[in-house]
């Protein structure tokens, strides 16, 4: 299959030259959008255009459903072992191509190369995990309470799935959906964020090279997601929407889904609290804080947004965190010594500037950073704000950048109340040397995931997801494949 247009990834010292298709992938063809419009992809490190990709219209969106629907029966009937082997081939190919993929992610997203490399390997893990799950989709059988019949339950592919992903993890958020969808026997249409479409096309190209049949994975980029997705949701053939993105857009899509009663999985925003108790090992807590705050430059739904630190260790934790944050080098993602890359766009920088100004205006103290550098690209430096007052906006909104906000607390009950005082409930971090305390606190936190004495929860083998307005459903683990199935119950008498 040949694409008409490509982005030529610059040849680097590592010999990474590679042509990435920049047209829509619909069925067995790469092709331009029907209106032949293009979307510019901007390099956040420079603010300059990097490439352009095809811009899908409503008509293209509906044609992508045609392609996925045509391939659906054949893919559902493909033996689980075969599906597993194809997914395993995707894993191996992705790992083998991880160097140039990381380079590509860093170029279009702005993140540091080390973060991008970590993302590619994490993304590939979903192919490996779901290659293993594809052959383990077990059903249930039981005797009905009356004894009259047997209850047989089997899990069947839910049908054509629409997968919508954000720009912050352009590879991992795509594979976290594609891999379980394909493992379950569903065909899909991926609609990546318009800011980072090149990675999506590169992943699709790798999947085709690995042998995934045409039509099983389709990819469309559009500058009008609202109109295109609305038309697709109302078409009637989409049976599953799996969305990762902001809570605001998630709410809109749940309304859309209501009209045609589409099954939804929603991975939405977060406002993660990070609790450090008096008995915590402070060096460990700071190391965890650096991962929870600075992975992806803070542009993660799981990013620690609010550090609540018990009074007895507040000063020490703050001192060590400032030292570590101050040692992180801000720079272009592709430079090997960069620890914190560019933010996605100018609006992200402006939003952080406003949140910091609001907090400082209300009494927060700036211990590090706090001012955007005057240079090309979209940069904000690692920043630490201490004594952030309760009314500050920065404690209520996702910061999505390298800013740590510190708030002291006295009692554990107070910390739990502060942590739960949000509409979000994705992840919470807890540091304590007492496991009993840690588990008790974990139980009381309104959060889908808890990192106990750890700075990271993401794992293909674990159920990722939130409570409250952070989402519905789970991705990863055996829970993730169930999201792409329907339970069929057969009442049998024998
Ligand atoms: P976003 O909600 O603006 O966009 C996400 C996707 O939705 C993009 O593909 C976009 O094109 C599409 N979209 C936007 N408006 C739409 C509409 N009206 N109809 C249909 N599609 C539409 O989010 P973003 O800025 O790309 O990503 C950042 C957000 O994603 C943050 O809130 C972050 O917390 C969240 N996120 C959550 C998780 C998780 O697993 N819970 C993971 C990563 C990111």
Q: What is the pLDDT of residues 97-147, one digit of tens each?
A: 999 999 999 999 999 999 999 999 999 999 999 999 999 999 999 999 999
Mean pLDDT of 192-221: 98
Residue 161 has what pLDDT? 99
**DSSP code for 296:** G
Question: What are the C-alpha distances in Å from 35 to residues 59, 66, 111?
Answer: 9, 18, 32
The strand pair at 150-157 and 485-492 is best described as antiparallel
The strand pair at 140-143 and 150-157 is best described as antiparallel
Tokens of 91: 């894993």
Percentage of the chain modeled with pLDDT above 70: 99
Ligand 1 atom at minimum distance from 464 CA? 40
Q: How far apart are CA 254 and CA 110, in angstroms?
A: 30
Question: What are the C-alpha distances in Å from 225 to residues 56, 211, 234?
Answer: 9, 29, 14
Ligand 1 atom at minimum distance from 164 CA? 9
Ligand 1 centre distance from Cα of residue 348 (Å): 14
Percentage of the chain modeled with pLDDT above 90: 96
Mean pLDDT of 201-221: 98
Q: How far apart are CA 56 and CA 64, in angstroms?
A: 10
Residue nearest to atom 8 of ligand 1 (CA): 193
Ligand 1 centre distance from Cα of residue 193 (Å): 7
- Residues whose beta carbon lies within 6 Å of some atom of ligand 1: 164-169, 173, 191-194, 225-226, 229, 244-246, 249, 252-253, 267-270, 301, 398, 426, 466, 471
Ligand 1 centre distance from Cα of residue 244 (Å): 5
- The three-state secondary structure class of 337 is coil
Q: Cβ distance 409 to 417 under 8 Å?
A: no
Residue nearest to atom 42 of ligand 1 (CA): 301
Residue 102 neighbours by CB under 8 Å, 6+ apart: 113, 116, 117, 119, 120
Backbone angles phi, psi at 159, to 5 degrees: 125, -165
Residue nearest to atom 22 of ligand 1 (CA): 225
Mutate to test the pocket of ligand 1, among 44, 110, 123, 166 (most ligand atoms within 8 A of CB): 166
Q: Cβ distance 238 to 160 under 8 Å?
A: yes
Backbone angles phi, psi at 136, to 5 degrees: -125, 30
Please write the tens of the pLDDT for every residue from 269-289: 999 999 999 999 999 999 999
Please write the tens of the pLDDT for every residue from 63-103: 999 999 999 999 999 999 999 999 999 999 999 999 999 99
Question: What are the C-alpha distances in Å from 431 to residues 154, 305, 371, 437?
Answer: 42, 15, 30, 10
CB burial of 345-364 (b: ≥16 within 10 Å; e: otherwise) equals: beebbebbeebbeebbeeeb
Tokens of 181: 């969808």
Ligand 1 centre distance from Cα of residue 417 (Å): 28
User: Per the confidence metrics, is the pTM higher than 0.95?
Assistant: yes
Q: Give the catalytic positions in this structure.
A: 267, 301
Confidence band (pLDDT; 50, 70, 90) for 13?
low
Q: Give me the residue label for tokens 């010292």.
A: 13
Ligand 1 atom at minimum distance from 249 CA? 2
Backbone angles phi, psi at 433, to 5 degrees: -85, -10
Confidence band (pLDDT; 50, 70, 90) for 16?
low
Longest dimension (CA), the chain: 77
């Amino acid at each position: 299959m040949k694409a008409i247009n490509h982005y030529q990834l610059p040849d680097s010292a590592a010999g990474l030259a590679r042509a990435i298709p920049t047209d829509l992938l619909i069925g067995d063809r790469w092709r331009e959008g029907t209106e032949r419009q293009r979307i510019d992809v901007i390099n956040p490190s420079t603010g300059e255009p990097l490439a352009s990709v095809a811009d899908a219209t409503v008509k293209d969106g509906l044609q992508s459903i045609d392609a996925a629907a045509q391939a659906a029966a054949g893919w559902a009937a493909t033996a689980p072992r075969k599906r597993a082997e194809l997914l395993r081939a995707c894993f191996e190919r992705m790992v083998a191509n991880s160097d140039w993929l990381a380079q590509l992610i860093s170029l279009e997203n702005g993140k540091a190369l080390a973060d991008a490399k970590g993302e590619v390997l994490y993304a590939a893990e979903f192919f490996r995990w779901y290659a293993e799950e594809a052959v383990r989709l077990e059903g249930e059988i039981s005797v009905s309470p009356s004894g009259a019949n047997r209850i047989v339950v089997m899990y069947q592919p839910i049908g054509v799935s629409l997968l919508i992903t954000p720009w912050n993890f352009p590879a991992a958020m795509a594979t976290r959906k594609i891999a379980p969808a394909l493992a379950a026997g569903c065909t899909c249409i991926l609609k990546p964020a318009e800011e980072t479409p090149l990675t999506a096309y590169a992943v699709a190209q790798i999947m085709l090279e690995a042998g995934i049949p045409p039509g099983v994975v389709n990819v469309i980029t559009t500058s009008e997601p609202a109109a295109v997705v609305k038309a697709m949701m109302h078409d009637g053939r989409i049976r599953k929407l799996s969305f990762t993105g902001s809570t605001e857009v998630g709410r809109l899509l749940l309304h859309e889904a209501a009209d045609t009663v589409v099954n939804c999985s929603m991975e939405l925003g977060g406002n993660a609290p990070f609790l450090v108790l008096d008995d915590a090992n402070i060096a460990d807590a700071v190391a965890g804080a650096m991962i929870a705050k600075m992975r992806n430059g803070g542009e993660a739904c799981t990013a620690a947004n609010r550090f609540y630190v018990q009074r007895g260790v507040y000063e020490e934790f703050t001192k060590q965190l400032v030292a570590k944050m101050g040692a992180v080098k801000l720079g272009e993602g592709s430079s090997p010594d960069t620890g914190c890359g560019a933010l996605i766009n100018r609006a992200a920088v402006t939003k952080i500037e406003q949140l910091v100004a609001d907090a400082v205006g209300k009494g927060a103290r700036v211990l590090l950073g706090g001012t955007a550098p005057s240079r090309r690209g979209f940069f904000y430096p690692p920043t630490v704000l201490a004594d952030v007052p309760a009314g500050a906006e920065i404690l209520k909104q996702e910061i999505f950048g390298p800013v740590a906000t510190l708030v002291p607390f006295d009692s554990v009950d107070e910390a739990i109340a502060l942590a739960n005082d949000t509409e979000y409930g994705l992840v919470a971090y807890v540091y304590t040397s007492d496991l009993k305390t840690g588990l008790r606190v974990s139980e009381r936190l309104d959060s889908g995931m808890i990192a106990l004495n750890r700075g990271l929860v993401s794992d293909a083998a674990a159920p990722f997801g939130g409570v409250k307005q952070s989402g519905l459903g789970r991705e990863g683990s055996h829970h993730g494949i169930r999201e792409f199935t329907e339970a069929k119950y057969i009442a049998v008498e024998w």
